[in-house]
Structure 1
Amino acid sequence: MLATIEKQSNRHVVKYKRPLPHSVNAVWEVITTNEKLQKWMSNLEIIDLRKNGKMRFNMNDGTNTYEEIAITDYIEKKVLEFDWGTDSVRFELSSTDNGSLLLFAETLHELTQHTSRDLAGWHICLDLLTDLLDGIEHHSFPMEEWQQRFNEYKELLDSYKKS
């Protein structure tokens, strides 16, 4: 299922909802422990897990280059929000009768030509996260799936801009 996009004052909020048959504790661990986090988003590394803590976006290009990322909101086993360039990314977890609900939101200040690429990337990363919870580990990024999602998000953004 594709993400939804809505306008909120002068921003655009993209939301991905993932009902998961796993406990909040299991999902939280995959989001916040580097060993598991890097299996679905190899560029991210948590340095100081707390509100006003920090993360790194590693370029993974052999140069040991990274960008520091501020953690802007944190409630253990419930919320992890951090800066994403000029935008922000937020994970929210809640318990359900069948496991948990993961709500992932990216708040965008503007839609650019790169937005559909990013949305497709987040979609695939969330698929990889879900697979990891299900015991399936990917050793490479699925570019064919990303290309399909990119095309879908490009269409979604085109129709969103027209509305």
Structure 2
Amino acid sequence: MDLGTYIEHQGRPAVRFERTYDHPIGKVWTAVATPEGLAHWFPSAVELEPHAGGKISFAGDPHMEPSTGTIVAFEPPRRLAFTWFEDELHFELEPLGEGRCRLTLVNVLGEADTAARNAAGWSVCLNELDRHVAGAQAEGPHSATAAPWRPYYDAYLAAGLPSGAPVPGMTDDSPPAAD
């Protein structure tokens, strides 16, 4: 199980993930920075104005209301950052030579107690991204073919990531929803 880490990012709590791909940076950029690429693995449908200061909109996530954010950075093919509710998402791509690249995703959290919940969600999403970039069928993190969310959540709890934020689909007496 490939887990992210809990860090501090510019004085704020965050979760960080890193993936290495045997694909050129341009291919992975298309997967993480275009609505067409994001449709395969991101938890919401996304529309974006591809420039710093542009608007980004999110819809279709069964656990969240539609919303809009702001593009903080748009530097193809290396950096995309945007706001999403109280959080910020930072995608950094680094070429590694020989047609390889590294993706670093940092979810800067609005509240520390969302760390375990969000990290589990991003782990599921990144599994879908891995499948998509590899050319396999990726139907998104809410699909029946996606990795189950609960084992990741349990692993992050066991690792001591801050928790306690409400989990969509979970009440005080029920386990979290599978996605």
> Common fold, TM-score beyond 0.5?
yes
- Tell whether the 8 Å contact from 1:17 to 1:102 is kept in structure 2 after alignment: yes
Match of 1:73 in 2: 73
Match of 1:90 in 2: 90
4+ runs deviating over 4 angstroms? 141-144
How far apart are 1:4 and its partner, in Å? 1.4
Q: Closer, same or farther in 2 for the Cα pair 1:94/1:9, shift >3 Å?
A: closer
Q: Closer, same or farther in 2 for the Cα pair 1:152/1:13, shift >3 Å?
A: same
How far apart are 1:5 and its partner, in Å? 1.3
Matching residue's letter, 1:36: G
Q: Closer, same or farther in 2 for the Cα pair 1:157/1:109, shift >3 Å?
A: farther
1:61-100: CA deviation from partner (whole Å, max 9, x where unpaired): 6xxx621111111111010001121121100001003500
Separation in structure 2 between the aligned mates of residue 135 and residue 8 of structure 1, nearest angstrom:
32
Identity of aligned residues (%): 24
What does 1:10-89 align with in structure 2 at a 5 Å threshold? 10-60=11-61, 66-89=66-89
Q: Closer, same or farther in 2 for the Cα pair 1:134/1:109, shift >3 Å?
A: same
Query: Please, what is the CA RMSD of the aligned residues?
Result: 2.2
- Tell whether the 8 Å contact from 2:67 to 2:85 is kept in structure 1 after alignment: no
Q: Closer, same or farther in 2 for the Cα pair 1:8/1:48, shift >3 Å?
A: closer
- Secondary structure at the aligned position of 1:77 is classed as coil
- Tell whether the 8 Å contact from 1:10 to 1:109 is kept in structure 2 after alignment: no
Structure 1, unaligned stretches of length 5 or more?
none
Match of 2:105 in 1: 104
Separation in structure 1 between the aligned mates of residue 144 and residue 119 of structure 2, nearest angstrom:
15
The alignment of Structure 1 onto Structure 2 pairs a total of residues equal to 156
**Structure with greater strand percent:** 1
Match of 1:122 in 2: 122
Match of 2:148 in 1: 145
Q: Closer, same or farther in 2 for the Cα pair 1:105/1:84, shift >3 Å?
A: same
Matching residue's letter, 1:97: G
Normalising by structure 2, we get a TM-score of 0.77
